[in-house]
Amino acid sequence: MKKWGFILGFIAIISFVLAGCSSEGDAASGEKTKVKVGLNGSGVPIWEKVQEKAEKENIDIELVEFADYVRPNMALADGDIDLNAFQTVSYFDSFIEEHDLDLKPIGTTIIAPMGVYSEKYKDVKDIPDGSSIAVPKEATNMGRALLLLEQAGLIGLPEDFDGNGSLDIIEDNPKNLKFEPIVAAQTPRVLPDVAASVINNGVAVEAGFVPVEDAVYIEDETAQPYINIIAARADEADKEVYQKIVELYQEEDVADHIKKTYNDSLIPTFVPLEDIGW
């Protein structure tokens, strides 16, 4: 009996030691969690900063670049990537409804603000009656432009305006302004010929403008439909590692990095998901 007691005791000790070694081995191995994030090229400098921070949290972020605005959501739904971060909530809501995708925002990131620019006037209030204003002609761009002009106090739109632009949707035009639909990429070039032009953020930056300095009126963080998001598959939205990535993105050092890298042309916008309808 003593012999068997000794053997059983020895086995118990060995088992305890092995269990301890196994636990220490897992911790010491520093095994990383890999997360694939789909982007358009313009967001890469931001995510390189997040990638660097995530490395310290044992999260290996792989950046996957796409050249269009369709594939990142399809790739996410198909499981080819784990997250994406390239789109406004307005675009996202429309896309997942149209394609019947079970995706969900998990965090907000930036606004790339659209602005009203003018070579003749320093304030939208100074634009005279009967003036011409250029607006981007594409439906979603025009809708955003009209909402901006409404916010600026120049026009009125229906309460149920769905964001898809059409000039005949304008209900109130107290200054009898004329609107000239222009291909978005051309909106800076017509500035000498109009009182003002509504220009997308990326187009304005390419034309040499600093939006927050040069626009006579500009979107701010209250432009909720145009806040950009990080999205995940709905059944993984609460995954701890994804929530940690959102947390890392929404820290002050990343906000500072965005402002510096993009010369204040992008606005870091970290708001609760309820504020964007989620």
Per residue in 243-259, pLDDT tens? Answer: 999 999 999 999 999 99
User: Would you place residue 30 in the very low, low, confident or very high pLDDT band (cuts 50, 70, 90)?
Assistant: low
Is the model more confident about 50 or about 1? 50
Supply the pTM of this predicted model.
0.81
**CB environment 119-150: b (16+ within 10 A), e (fewer):** eebeebeebeeebebbbbbbebbbbbbbbbbb
Residue 8, both tokens: 């059983």
Mean pLDDT of the chain: 89
Per residue in 36-54, pLDDT tens? Answer: 999 987 899 999 999 999 9
* Number of residues assigned to the chain: 278
Q: Beta strands 227-233 and 83-88: pairing type?
A: antiparallel
Give the CA distances from residue 123 to residues 15, 173, 269, in Å, rounded to whole numbers and listed in that order: 77, 18, 25
pLDDT reading at 23 higher than 80:
no
Give the pLDDT of residue 242. Answer: 98
Give the pLDDT of residue 61. Answer: 98
Nearest CA to 276 among 81, 71, 105, 97? 105
Average pLDDT, stretch 254-275? 95
Q: Beta strands 196-199 and 115-117: pairing type?
A: antiparallel
Helix, coil or strand: residue 192: helix
- Domains delineated in the chain: 33-113+223-276 (3.40.190.10), 115-218 (3.40.190.10)
Nearest CA to 232 among 107, 110, 112? 107
Strands (E) across 77-212 are located at 83-88, 103-111, 115-117, 132-136, 178-182, 196-199
